[in-house]
Amino acid sequence: MSNNTPRVALVTGGTGGIGEAVVDALVADGFAVGVHYAGNKAKADALVEKITTAGGQAVAVGGDVADEHAMAAAFDTVRTAFGGIDVVINTAGIMVLGPIADYDLDQFDQIVRTNLRGAFVVSQLAARHVRDGGAIINFSTSVTRTQLPKYGPYVATKAAVEGLTLILARELRGRDITVNAVAPGPTATPLFFDSNNEQTIAALTNVTPLERLGRPEEIATTVAQLAGPARWVNGQTVFVNGGLA
């Protein structure tokens, strides 16, 4: 790449609360960005239009993260548009809470498909296509430490994502590619508010020493560091949670 060619990132779940904040942070750092969406094409297109109008470079790509063919096409679209991919950030995920004893198995299959198979598919494609010197960032959760009731299925998928992420970091030895997982604490996103009742939201708002929810842009700041200058952080799970645990 010449000095005039931007680094290129693909952000899955780019229309979500954290995903959109990540897209904004990367664009501010000069990245060309592939904004992935699962269902909200209109929002992805609007985000791309906002970026390009402001002089940035972006393209919208759709598809189920667990569908290897759809995601291969998404990777190809970004590579065709910008010449390659340097960073892949997988924020896509779903969260449906419930006690293990009563959890619907069809719902369990769905959460495993999106959160775990999706992370595997995206990680596999990233391992094949990210250029040397790049970065791969998956998403876990701080509830792997706090072990809150009703988060069992969600945490099971995210603990598995951590495991495959840290092994991938070792498998990519020799390519100068960092692979890390980011584990947010309670963050003010639509996913968080839609998945918790008012009592739980109030409790989680006050549980950190900072006595508030995290903001999506605060998660994105850490992601941008891992995508850019933080080259000596590799094979780690980085907890971004205001001191939760």
Helix (H, G, I), strand (E, B) or coil at 186: coil
- In this structure, what token pair is assigned to residue 228? 């850019």
Active site residues: 154
- Give the span between the Cα atoms of 234 and 174, in whole angstroms: 13
For residue 90, what is the enclosing H or E element?
A: strand 85-90
Helix (H, G, I), strand (E, B) or coil at 182: strand
CA distances from 91 to 104, 111, 170, 208 (A): 24, 14, 21, 23
Amino acid present at 11: V
